Amino acid sequence: MFGLFQVVIKNPNTNVEFNWYLLVMENLFYDRNPNRRFDLKGSMRNRKIESTGQADEVLLDENLVETIFESPLFVREHSKKLLKASVYNDTLWLSKQNIMDYSLMAGFDDERKELIVGIIDCIRTYTWDKRIESWWKRGDRNKPTITSPKEYRNRFRVSMMNYVLQAPNCWHQYQAQQIYRRPLRIEWEGKKGVQDEGPSAAVAEAQTSVMEAEGAAL
């Protein structure tokens, strides 16, 4: 977001003024041509449209979930950390400004193997009319629920991190081995002891999950 500008146009004959307010934002897709675009809010309620196949169509959350169910979206560890930090910091600031109903615009450039993302539509504040609308719509499950900025922020963060997964790297197996070899501390009859014969059931289950994730990625 570069700034909010006011443009005043005055009629010299009638002296009537017209005020226009312009919000200037970055063009996320400048010098890029993503072949798939998604407007993501982190909600599964009424967030699906029928795809037309047009180049400039914008799909929604449920469309993305159907896509990643067949072909999960993986990014490198550094990219995932940057995305998480950016989403966390931006939504923290927006919630403090009492802003909600923003979206994460995501563009997939399959040719360049790039994912372009940015938060848009971040000018809607949680005013008294939104509070009344939220209270009224909570009784109707067929209508989208209006949530407070804090609730919206938390849901948004969790959903964005679930949409984008971290790709397994060469250290995954090493980390799993470290979990396996970690001593297990147990207690019996009021005494403490250390057992190093193998992982507990919970650790073994965690190790299996890591291995299965690696196999799925391969």
User: What is the distance between the alpha carbons of residues 207 and 71, in angstroms, rounded to a whole number?
Assistant: 24
pLDDT at 51: 87
Q: What pLDDT does residue 131 have?
A: 58
- Which pLDDT belongs to residue 46? 86
Residue boundaries of the structural domains of the chain: 27-166, 172-217
pLDDT at 103: 94
Distance CA 99, CA 148 (A): 9
Residues near 95 by beta carbon (within 8 Å), at least 6 away in sequence: 149, 150, 152, 153
Residue 177 structure tokens = 């081995």
Low-confidence ranges of the chain (pLDDT < 70): 128-146, 171-218
3-state secondary structure (DSSP) of residue 16: coil
- Estimate to the nearest angstrom the gap between the alpha carbon of 204 and the chain centroid: 30
Query: What is the assigned CATH class of domain 27-166?
Result: alpha beta
Asked if 138 and 130 touch (Cβ cutoff 8 Å), the reply is no
